[in-house]
Amino acid sequence: MLEKKEANYEKVVLVGLITREQSEEKLTEYMDELEFLAYTAGATVGERFTQKMDRPDSKFFVGSGKLDEIAAFVEEYNIDTVIFDDELTPSQLKNIEKVVNKKIIDRTQLILDIFAQRAQTSYARTQVELAQYQYLLPRLTRMWTHLERQRGGIGMRGPGETEIETDRRIIRDRITLLKEKLKGIDKQMATQRKNRGALVRVALVGYTNVGKSTLMNVLSKSEVFAENKLFATLDTTVRKVVIGNLPFLLTDTVGFIRKLPTQLVESFKSTLDEVREADLLVHVVDISHTSFEDHVNSVNQILAEIESKDKPTVMVFNKIDNFSYVQKEEDDLTEMKFENYSLEDWKRTWMAKTDYPTLFISATEKDNLEELRKTVYEEVKDIHTKRFPYNNFLFQYYEEEDMTEEE
């Protein structure tokens, strides 16, 4: 529980619902993720508020009594921001603000804010700005009341922060301009992809914060920014990698997440083109995370949306050094729970039945990386052989002494 006076950083509370479609267990997972998102954005969470309802209330999202409870807590403990786990409608935002006289944002706006913080290149900043404007347009009246109060911080970064006079027509013009700018950059990137030649393309895909950038650094011996926060990498990074004497292109892509805002999926389509045009996907999974199966399903769903689900794939279960489980007593006859499955137990489940090579590694501890290199080598060689059946001089068979990385 927060004390009434805190340090000078943004204090937030989280709000979520248990519904017919979302169980209490599932809500807990989403709220844990929402708290990590808030931490990534630069906030500290003071309290979580949850309520059980058949469906979200059309007026306040939560019940009026629960909203009064939130408003009282926010006032007593001087909370800066209330963050809702689901995207709120413009009318819900307006109604909630009348009761809770504080900054109100939803999961979508929080993710957009993190993207605004993390975007480094002109291309990424343009993509994020477009997504922000698309989110902003139907909420224009509500957002401008915020701007008149001159509030900053989480959810308030980005377009229009000082331009109170901006209207819908100017917003639409800006969206059109940004789309045209992205089209121009997309053409440049498409040309760059063509100029990379006939090298086999391998793309790292996976949920956010599963260790893709760390794995990229280990495989390519380069320095790609990696951090234990969500969406540490927004800009696509491409490196030429040579295993044995077989070269290929390795791409690190933006991480996926559940409830990913549709505006971001639309804006980052060109970034996802790197995945679409890849010859081989390396699907990285954080096996130490209790929801890793949901993460796999979320990634597969997005891959299906961009027509990339049926590509050759290597499943890489990372962070085995962080994996832990609770062993059941021999006389315990209760049903096995998630936390009772050991790594060996998991290896005997659906993971053993997949059509793709499946590996268990630790990118930070460099456990089983040699096996990963060998597997990637064989997959890339197979693709290269089919593409250039008479071009055998480019590679040799995998030799252990050629592949061993110098420590």
Binding residue numbers for Mg(2+): 213, 233
Segment holding 316, helix H or strand E: strand 313-318
Contact 141, 166 (CB under 8 A): no
d(CA 333, CA 43): 43
Segment holding 66, helix H or strand E: helix 64-76
Binding residue numbers for GTP: 206-213, 231-235, 252-255, 318-321, 362-364
Segment holding 10, helix H or strand E: strand 10-18
Binding residue numbers: 206-213, 231-235, 252-255, 318-321, 362-364
d(CA 120, CA 233): 9
Helix (H, G, I), strand (E, B) or coil at 159: coil
How far are the Cα atoms of 7, 14, 65 from residue 34, in angstroms, in the given order? 22, 8, 23
Contact 251, 204 (CB under 8 A): yes
Contact 71, 1 (CB under 8 A): no
* Nearest in space to 212 (alpha carbons), one of 363, 407, 320: 363
Polymer length of the chain: 407
